[in-house]
A and B are shown apart, each in its own frame.
Chain A
């Protein structure tokens, strides 16, 4: 089946690290993505990881992939108020052309 799950809310203190988790079901996924949606806007790709990788780091962002458990996480170091947004995990479905399946999104809020 095609399903991507994430928790709905996360609250962190400014300056701390945020860790957003995601689980997916399709073992044939080629790419896994993290998208960011700010209020009233569309989604923007933050980062992606190819399914044969374990980790990818890009400045304050670290993506970890546990393919055995089908678990993906996004760590944001030194979280700032500008990081407040909804973060969507997504997977590409190899068996279905180029369809990309999104999770329900995790709303990240920052406490002062």
Chain B
């Protein structure tokens, strides 16, 4: 029973390059969340998606960042023209969705982006 799978686990990019982070939710989960964890800081909400829809992107920077969760395949967090300040751990989480549940999130192990 695979949990939330994120890849790559580690990614190194030079300033100006693009970073693509992938997340496959747990089986049966239709809701995906992306969080960013800066060194020595907590988790900051970025975006919440359901299949083919962005539900809440209030935590996404206005420029260079985008997210999608297509009908088929993993959710993608894309960062264009990366800068050093984008270096962080990016965590994906999934949940079964709405309905009578506790809202528990199931987290992946994170993708650690380093921008040189």
Q: Which residues of B contact A30 (CB under 8 A)?
A: 103
Q: How far is the CB of B107 from chain A (nearest CB, A)?
A: 4
Q: Are B95's CB and A98's CB within 8 A?
A: yes
Main secondary structure of the interface of A (DSSP, over half): strand
**A92–B31 CA distance with the chains assembled, in angstroms:** 15
Please, which residues of chain B bring their CB within 8 A of the CB of A98?
Answer: 31, 48, 95, 98, 103
CB-defined contacts of B31 to chain A, threshold 8 Å: 98
Nearest A residue to B47, CB-CB: A99
Contact stretch, chosen from B11-19, B35-43, B62-70, B79-87: B35-43
- Expressed in whole angstroms, the Cα–Cα distance for A64 and B93 within the complex equals 26
CB distance from A15 to the nearest CB of B (A): 28
Q: Which residues of B contact A (CB under 8 A)?
A: 4, 31, 33, 35, 41-45, 48, 55-56, 58, 91, 93, 95, 98, 102-110
What would 4 more interface pairs be, CB under 8 Å, given A30-B103, A102-B44?
A42-B91, A42-B93, A42-B109, A45-B106
